[in-house]
């Protein structure tokens, strides 16, 4: 029985067309800025997101962290959602790498309000207070179940941050999904952000690769931090070519992943949170037990807590497989 892997949209493998593009890529030394494929990808993504420039990095974690490291430093503070990726899944990097502390606010499915940011702002600039430097937003929100920010709310949060002299970082690992699900342009989603990180290795199906998009001036700091954390790759064009291919062939098809998520939720009687994009969450009695039962039936899921499971739809899970996945999951539930 072939396993159906719904643990994450990162489990996809490069398609034959993508591998061909990688093999044929023109390359150079990217630390010298001489890799034509990396340069083309950087320019393309910057233009897509409406920013002056972009810097290619191998991972989303590195993209987030060097973006944040360019905005805040030792003894300074960022404001972010309690469940945000930047503080929950990146190895404590904001504090370990940059000496930055985070002040968390509580969002609904990861989406917080301008009022919450106002309440988190430190009124005093006294010697007692850490300097607040940035607000980090995640769209779509991973732990929120692929939730999409209402555009106006995102803009209002950014305006409060800007008004208080703070920068805005957008973790847009899955901004592509927000764009395809809403029809809101990528430029509009990113307009209010000083730094944006995007991933090519999630829904877009590349084996690796992320970018930080920002001003041309800030890319100097971002490139410096990339070097510092060992992210200066040499002939990275072989990987960047996969990203180029993904943008050409895999962006619009994200709509299928969103449809698959809805179809799966409708076909399996779990307490699903209403899917907005490609990430499905369900509250269950015993998440590890259900994950194990599903594995025995040939479906891989993640337990994100003792009582919550996650399933993610992606490029290697065509909508034609949804019925089979649903059948296996119903069988798994019946085992418990």
Ligand X SMILES: Cc1ncc(COP(=O)(O)O)c(C=O)c1O
Report 62-121 residues binding ligand X (CB under 6 A): 64, 85
Q: Between 140 and 219, name the residue whose CB sits nearer to ligand X.
A: 140
**Rounded least distance, CB 12 to ligand X, Å:** 13
- Its sign, for the CA torsion 313, 287, 282, 198, is negative
Give yes or no for a contact between 187 and 162, defined as CB atoms under 8 angstroms apart.
no
> Which one, 170 or 287, has the nearer CB to ligand X?
170
Report if residue 201 touches ligand X, rule: CB under 6 A. yes
Task: Give least dist CB 139 to ligand X, A.
Answer: 9
Q: What part of residues 38-67 is at the interface with ligand X (CB under 6 A)?
A: 59-61, 64
Nearer residue to ligand X within complex by CB, 15 or 59: 59
For residues 157 and 112, what is the distance between their CA atoms, to the nearest angstrom? 8
**Judged by CB, which is closer to ligand X: 201, or 214?**
201
Q: Which residue's CB is nearer to ligand X, number 198 or number 290?
A: 198
CA distance 334 to 336: 6
Binding of residue 194 to ligand X (CB under 6 A): no
Which secondary structure element, helix H or strand E, spans residue 256, and what is its range? helix 254-267
Tell me the C-alpha distance between 303 and 58, whole Å.
26
156-194 burial, b for 16+ CB within 10 Å, e for fewer? bbbebbeeeebbbbbbbbbbbbbbbbbebebeebbbbbb
Give the number of other CB atoms < 10 A from CB of residue 224.
13
138 sits near ligand X (criterion: CB under 6 A): yes
CB of 199 vs ligand X, minimal distance in Å: 5
Write out the residues near ligand X by the rule CB under 6 A: 59-61, 64, 85, 138, 142, 171, 173, 199, 201, 210
């Amino acid at each position: 029985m072939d396993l159906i892997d719904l643990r994450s949209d990162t489990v996809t493998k490069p398609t034959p067309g993508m591998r061909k593009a990688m093999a044929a890529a023109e390359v150079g030394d990217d630390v010298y800025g001489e890799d034509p494929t990396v340069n083309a990808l950087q320019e393309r993504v910057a233009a897509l997101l409406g920013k002056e420039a972009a810097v290619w990095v191998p991972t989303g974690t590195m993209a987030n962290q060097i973006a944040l490291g360019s905005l805040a430093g030792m003894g300074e503070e960022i404001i972010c959602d309690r469940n945000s990726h930047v503080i929950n899944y990146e190895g404590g990097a904001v504090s370990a790498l940059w000496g930055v502390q985070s002040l968390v606010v509580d969002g609904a499915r990861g989406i917080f309000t301008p009022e919450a940011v106002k309440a988190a702002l430190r009124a005093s600039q006294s010697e007692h207070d850490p300097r607040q430097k940035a607000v980090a937003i995640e769209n779509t929100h991973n732990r929120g179940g692929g939730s999409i920010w209402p555009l106006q709310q995102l803009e209002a949060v950014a305006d409060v941050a800007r008004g208080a002299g703070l920068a805005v970082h957008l973790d847009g690992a899955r901004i592509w999904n927000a764009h395809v699900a809403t029809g809101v342009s990528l430029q509009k989603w990113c307009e209010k952000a000083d730094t944006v990180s995007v991933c090519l290795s999630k829904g877009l199906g590349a084996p690796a690769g992320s970018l930080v998009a920002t001003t041309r001036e800030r890319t100097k700091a971002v490139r410096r931090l990339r070097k510092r954390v060992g992210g200066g790759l040499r002939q990275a064009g072989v990987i960047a070519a996969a990203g180029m291919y993904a943008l050409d062939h895999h962006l619009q098809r994200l709509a299928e992943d969103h449809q698959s998520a809805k179809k799966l939720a409708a076909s399996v009687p779990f307490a699903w949170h209403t899917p907005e994009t490609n990430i499905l969450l369900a509250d269950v009695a015993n998440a590890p037990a259900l994950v194990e039962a599903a594995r025995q039936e040939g479906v891989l899921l993640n337990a994100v807590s003792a009582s919550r499971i996650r399933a993610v739809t992606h490029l290697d899970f065509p909508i034609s497989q949804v019925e089979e996945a649903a059948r296996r999951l119903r069988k798994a539930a019946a085992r418990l």
